[in-house]
Amino acid sequence: MEKVIDETQQGSALVMEPNKDNSRKLFIESYGCQMNFSDSEIVASILAKEGFNTTDKLEDADLVLVNTCSIREKAEQTVRKRLEKYNAVKRHNPSMKVGVLGCMAERLKSKFLEEEKIVDLVVGPDAYKDLPNLIEEVEAGRNAVNVILSKEETYADVSPVRLQSNGVSAFVSITRGCDNMCTFCVVPFTRGRERSRDPQSILEEVNDLAARGFKEITLLGQNVDSYLWYGGGLKKDFDKASEMQKATAVNFAGLLDQVAKAQPKMRIRFSTSNPQDMTLDVIETMAKHQNICKYIHLPVQSGSDRILKKMNRLHTREEYFTLIDNIRKIIPDCAISQDMIAGFPTETEEDHQDTLSLMEYVKYDFGFMFAYSERPGTMAGRKMEDDVPEPVKKRRLQEIIELQREHSLYRTQQHLGKIEEVLIEKESKKSDLHWSGRNTQNTMVVFPKEHYKVGDFVKVKIEDCTSATLLGTPVGYSDNN
Ligand code: SAH
Ligand code: F3S
C-alpha cells in the first residue's frame, strides 16, 4: 500500500528511561512531522534536568505537553480534539498543567489561551530552552507564552533523550526553519528562517548514537539540501559572511560525506529534499558511500508548470525530469518518493493530467498525497481563492492515490528474486513469528525471525510482495554486522 497519511507520527505517549531521582511526571506526545518528534526528544531532555520522568498515563501527569502540527486544517483539528480529552482528565486531576508546543503554538500564540481554556502554556519551536522558566510561571498560577523565533537556535548543545526508541534508528536534526516560501505552506511562518547546525555537534551526536548501538540515522531538515554551515547565523545572511567563513563553509554534500565517513557501518538517510535545492554533488556523494541509503524523498507537489509557478516551487517539470534522470543515471536502483497536493487554487483538469503524467514518468516507489488545505497567513491563503470544489479535489486525490498504488506495486515487483540487506527494526505487526525492517530503498521487508534479532543486518531473499511490503526468507548475516 502507498503511504496515504495525514500525520506521519500520530500522537501517542513518548517515553524514556526513568531517572530515579526525578519525581515529577511528564506526559508528552507529538503530532505531525519527524522534526516534531525529534523536537519532543529535545524537550524531554531539557525537562529531565528539571526533575521530570515521562509517563504513558495521562491520568498520572503533572504536566502534559503536546507537540502540534499546523500543516493542514485537519492536523489542527486533531490536536483540538486531543485537548478535549485532556480537559476530561483534568476534572479528576485538577493540578495537571497543559502546554502546547510546536507549529500551532507558534501560529496561534497567546490566542491559544483564549480559544482553549485548558491550555496553561504556549511555547514555539525555538523557545524550548525557556521551558524551565515558563513552567515555573505556570506552577505559580500564571499562564506563560514564549513564541519568539530565533536566528540562531539549533539546540546543538542539547543532547536529545531517545523517546520510544527501538534502539536501532534515530533522527538527527541538521537545519531548522525554511526560507523557501512555497505559497501553500505554513512552515516558514511557524518555524522561522532557515539556519544550520554546527557539523561538529552533528558528528558528535552521530558518534554517540553509534556508540550506544544505533544502526541507522536520518538527518532531518525542512529542506536538507539547503544545509550550509559557515559559523552560525541565518542562511540568508551568508552573503555577509567573511571570506574565511565562506571558504570553510560546509554544504549538505560535505556534511553527508563527513557523516558517512565517520560511521561507515551506520546507515545514513535524510529528509526532506526540495528539488530546486538538490545538487548533483549530493547524488554523487550518495553514490560514493555504500552506507548512504538509496532513497530520496523528493516532493514535487504538482506536475503542471503553471501550478508549480503559483506554488512558488522554483523549478519546472522539465528540470524535475532532468534531476530524476540524473539520479537514475548515478544511482540506478535509487528509490524516489513524492508529496503531492491535489486541488491547489485554479488547478484545472489539464493541470491534474500533468500531475498524473509526471507520475507515469517517474513511477515513484512511495507517495504522501494530500488535498489542498488553505492555511491562514500563507501567500495562497491571502491572495488565492480556494476555488477547486471539495468533491473535485477528493476525486483528483483519489486518482493520484490509485496511480501511486499501481506504481508502488510495479516498484516492489522489481525486488522479487533479489537478495537484499535488511536492518531489523521490530516485530511484524501481523505476526509475532516475523521481523520487519527496511532495505536500502526504504521498502518494508517482512521475514521469519529464525535466530536473528532486532538491530541485525540480514540478507533476505525476496519472494513475494504487496504494493507496500516485500516478503522473503533470511539467508544469512550481511557483512555490515
Ligand atoms: N519540506 C517539508 C515539507 C513539510 S510539509 C518536509 O520536510 O517534508 C509536508 C507536505 O505537506 C508538503 O510536501 C506538502 O505536500 C504538504 N502540504 C504542505 N502544506 C499543505 C497545504 N496547505 N495543503 C495540503 N498539503 C500541504
Ligand atoms: Fe514548506 Fe516549501 Fe519549506 S513545502 S517547509 S515552504 S520547502
Mean pLDDT of 236-265: 96
Backbone angles phi, psi at 295, to 5 degrees: -155, 130
What are the structural domain ranges in the chain? 7-146, 169-411, 419-477
Give the pLDDT confidence of 292-329 residue by residue, as tens digits: 999 999 999 999 999 999 999 999 999 999 999 999 99
Kindly indicate the confidence band of residue 166, based on its pLDDT and cuts at 50, 70 and 90. Answer: confident
C-alpha grid cell, residue 401: 492515490
pLDDT for res 134 = 97
Nearest residue by C-alpha to atom 7 in ligand 1: 222
pLDDT for res 179 = 95
Mean pLDDT of 467-478: 97
> Which residue's C-alpha cell is 498515563?
57
Q: Is 232 left (phi over 0), alpha (psi -120 to 50) or beta?
A: left
Strands 469-477 and 444-448: parallel
- The third-level CATH classification (topology) of the domain covering 169-411 is pyruvate-formate lyase- activating enzyme (3.80.30)
Mean pLDDT of 34-52: 95
Entry pTM: 0.94
Kindly indicate the confidence band of residue 4, based on its pLDDT and cuts at 50, 70 and 90. Answer: very low
Cβ 364 under 6 angstroms from ligand 1: no
Q: Quick one: which atom of ligand 2 is closest to the CA of 191?
A: 5
Q: Quick one: which atom of ligand 1 is closest to the CA of 340?
A: 15
Mean pLDDT of 121-138: 97
* Domain 7-146 -> CATH class: alpha beta
Kindly indicate the confidence band of residue 10, based on its pLDDT and cuts at 50, 70 and 90. Answer: low
- The third-level CATH classification (topology) of the domain covering 419-477 is OB fold (Dihydrolipoamide Acetyltransferase, E2P) (2.40.50)
Mean pLDDT of 111-132: 97
Kindly indicate the confidence band of residue 402, based on its pLDDT and cuts at 50, 70 and 90. Answer: very high
pLDDT for res 117 = 94
Nearest residue by C-alpha to atom 2 in ligand 1: 222
Three-state SS string across 46-97, please? HHHCCCEEECCCHHHCCEEEEEECCCCHHHHHHHHHHHHHHHHHHCCCCCCE
Runs of H (alpha helix) within 263-333: 280-288, 305-310, 317-330
Average pLDDT, the chain: 95
pLDDT for res 21 = 85
> From ligand 2's centre to the CA of 236, what distance in Å?
16
Give the pLDDT confidence of 334-375 residue by residue, as tens digits: 999 999 999 999 999 999 999 999 999 999 999 999 999 999
pLDDT for res 433 = 97
> Which residue's C-alpha cell is 519527524?
34
Name the nearest CA neighbour of 99 among 79, 77, 72, 73. Answer: 79
